[in-house]
């Protein structure tokens, strides 16, 4: 019977869809992998189940334990789903730039949410990294998955996301593009695809200002991607290239994806698509560029999809009621 025993069993197996309207003619085919169709709404469901499995196997996470993680939301949702299935408590620590919608989502799944300032360095006692370390020390039975250093993150993408892309394109994929946050997605998928065909090019997308594209870690607004330090989940030898994308272009493309492609997705998806279109423009017309879209847009309705919010940063090019604008790629 095609009835899952639990939503956790429905993680992975997300579809590919061709992008049409946003892709300029003459370039390669661009295909999006729709990770918001995971049960928790993002690619992070995949790493959550793998990290918990590994911690149970190693004995780091014991029955009745508490999961404490600094997360911008998506990893928290994935962990909360797995925690519900297996009887763990969750405490999540978020930077204050994470939308209220996302925080409320975590609370809806039964997690406790602690909010910390974004504008402090990682070593500051109030940073979300420091606060989560303190909570781990002070909470009995606590386990911190640490998605930034946990090898189960990239492994989950090596074992599931990469093989799905290879199989669903019948091995025709020539380029893979993904935003880089912890680096787990690009590392795991890129490694798997290059093992199948070393000619496949792997391209990371990064917000302007982040360290992956040579920045200093200065603030940017797109959530879930870019870093101000180098996490060990990221293997910098996997990507062939990193493309930096501005907040303005990321948000404009995010709005176009909803408006023209029927894909209500998050800002890091718009960022990845801008990078994918740059890649497709220079690729062969026969090439197949797969771009991973990590999450959905409902957590960003009061930001990216709100004209006033966008205008307050000087990013509003086309009001939602207007005709779609153009993104310089
Ligand atoms: N987009 C969003 C919205 C995310 O939450 C994340 C994870 N931080 C990413 C992209 C990047 O994925 P990864 O951590 O695997 O590099």
Q: What is the pLDDT of residues 237-261, one digit of tens each?
A: 999 999 999 999 999 999 999 999 9
Comparing 107 with 321, the larger pLDDT belongs to 107
Nearest CA to ligand 1 atom 3: 224
The answer to whether the beta carbons of residues 302 and 310 sit under 8 Å apart is: no
Beta pairing, strands 112-116 & 89-95: parallel
Q: Is 44 tagged catalytic?
A: yes
Residue matched to tokens 């740059």: 278
Asked whether residue 22 carries a pLDDT value surpassing 90, the answer given is: yes
Asked whether residue 328 carries a pLDDT value surpassing 70, the answer given is: no
Check 33, 44, 144, 303 and give the catalytic one: 44
The mean predicted confidence, pLDDT, of the chain is 94
Highest mean pLDDT out of 119-123, 133-137, 289-293, 298-302? 289-293
Q: What is the mean pLDDT of residues 123-145?
A: 92
Ramachandran angles phi, psi of 276, nearest 5°: -65, -35
pLDDT tier, 326 (very low <50, low <70, confident <90, very high otherwise): low
Q: What is the mean pLDDT of residues 57-80?
A: 93
Asked whether residue 199 carries a pLDDT value surpassing 70, the answer given is: yes
* Whole-number Å distance between alpha carbons of 286 and 20: 15
Order of strands, sheet of 89-95, starting from the edge strand that comes earlier in the sequence: 112-116, 89-95, 66-70, 142-143
Instruction: Mark 99-128 as b/e (b = at least 16 C-beta within 10 Å).
Output: beebbebbeebebebebbeeeeeeeeeebb
Nearest CA to ligand 1 atom 4: 224
Tens-digit pLDDT profile for residues 265-280:
999 999 999 999 999 9
Q: What is the mean pLDDT of residues 172-194?
A: 98
* Whole-number Å distance between alpha carbons of 317 and 207: 19
Q: What is the mean pLDDT of residues 10-22?
A: 98
- Region class of 21: left (phi > 0), else alpha (psi between -120 and 50), else beta: alpha
Q: Is the minimum distance from the CB of 250 to ligand 1 under 6 angstroms?
A: no
Comparing 317 with 321, the larger pLDDT belongs to 317
Cα–ligand 1 centroid distance for 42 (angstroms): 9
Alpha-carbon Rg for the chain, nearest whole angstrom, is: 19
Q: Is the minimum distance from the CB of 40 to ligand 1 under 6 angstroms?
A: no
Q: Is the minimum distance from the CB of 183 to ligand 1 under 6 angstroms?
A: yes
Cα–ligand 1 centroid distance for 186 (angstroms): 10
Nearest CA to ligand 1 atom 5: 224
pLDDT tier, 327 (very low <50, low <70, confident <90, very high otherwise): low
Q: What is the mean pLDDT of residues 113-124?
A: 89
Q: Is the minimum distance from the CB of 224 to ligand 1 under 6 angstroms?
A: yes
Query: Is the ipTM reported for this complex over the cut 0.90?
Result: yes
Q: Is the minimum distance from the CB of 180 to ligand 1 under 6 angstroms?
A: yes
Query: What's the pLDDT score for residue 320?
Result: 84
Question: CA of 145: how far to CAs of 50, 128, 150, in Å?
Answer: 10, 14, 7
Q: What is the mean pLDDT of residues 75-90?
A: 96
Q: Which stretch of 92-106, 195-209, 280-294 has the lowest confidence by average pLDDT?
A: 92-106
Query: What's the pLDDT score for residue 323?
Result: 57
Q: What is the mean pLDDT of residues 291-312?
A: 94
pLDDT tier, 143 (very low <50, low <70, confident <90, very high otherwise): very high
- Above pLDDT 70, what percent of the chain? 97
Task: At 138, list the tokens.
Answer: 């002070």
* Whole-number Å distance between alpha carbons of 278 and 229: 26
Q: Is the minimum distance from the CB of 184 to ligand 1 under 6 angstroms?
A: yes
Q: What is the mean pLDDT of residues 69-76?
A: 86
Nearest CA to ligand 1 atom 6: 224
């Amino acid at each position: 019977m095609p009835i899952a025993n639990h939503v956790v069993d429905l993680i992975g197996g997300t579809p590919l869809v061709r992008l049409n309207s946003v892709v300029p003619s003459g370039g390669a085919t661009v295909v999006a992998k729709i990770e918001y169709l995971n049960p928790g709404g993002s690619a992070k469901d995949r790493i959550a189940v793998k990290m918990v499995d590994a911690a149970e196997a190693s004995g780091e996470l014991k029955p009745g334990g508490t999961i404490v993680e600094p997360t911008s939301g998506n990893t928290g949702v994935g962990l909360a789903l797995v925690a519900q299935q297996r009887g763990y408590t969750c405490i999540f620590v978020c930077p204050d730039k994470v939308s209220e919608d996302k925080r409320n989502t975590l609370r809806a799944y039964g997690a406790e949410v602690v909010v910390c300032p974004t504008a402090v360095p990682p070593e500051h006692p109030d940073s979300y990294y420091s606060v989560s370390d303190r909570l781990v020390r002070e909470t009995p039975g606590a386990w911190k998955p640490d998605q930034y250093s946990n090898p189960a993150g990239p492994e989950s993408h090596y074992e599931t996301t990469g093989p799905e892309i290879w199989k669903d394109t019948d091995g025709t994929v020539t380029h893979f593009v993904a935003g880089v946050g912890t680096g787990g997605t690009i590392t795991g998928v890129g490694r798997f695809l290059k093992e199948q065909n070393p000619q496949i090019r792997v391209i990371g997308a990064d917000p302007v200002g982040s360290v992956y594209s040579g920045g200093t870690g200065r603030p940017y607004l797109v959530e879930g991607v870019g870093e101000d330090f180098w996490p060990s989940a990221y293997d910098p030898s996997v990507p062939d290239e990193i493309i930096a994308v501005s907040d303005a272009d990321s948000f404009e493309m995010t709005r176009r994806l909803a408006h023209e492609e029927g894909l209500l997705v998050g800002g890091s998806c718009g960022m990845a698509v801008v990078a994918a279109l740059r890649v497709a423009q220079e690729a062969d017309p026969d090439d197949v560029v797969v771009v991973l879209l990590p999450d959905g847009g409902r957590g960003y309705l009061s930001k990216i999809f709100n004209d006033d919010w966008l205008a307050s940063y000087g990013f509003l090019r086309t009001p939602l009621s207007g005709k779609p604008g153009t993104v310089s790629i």
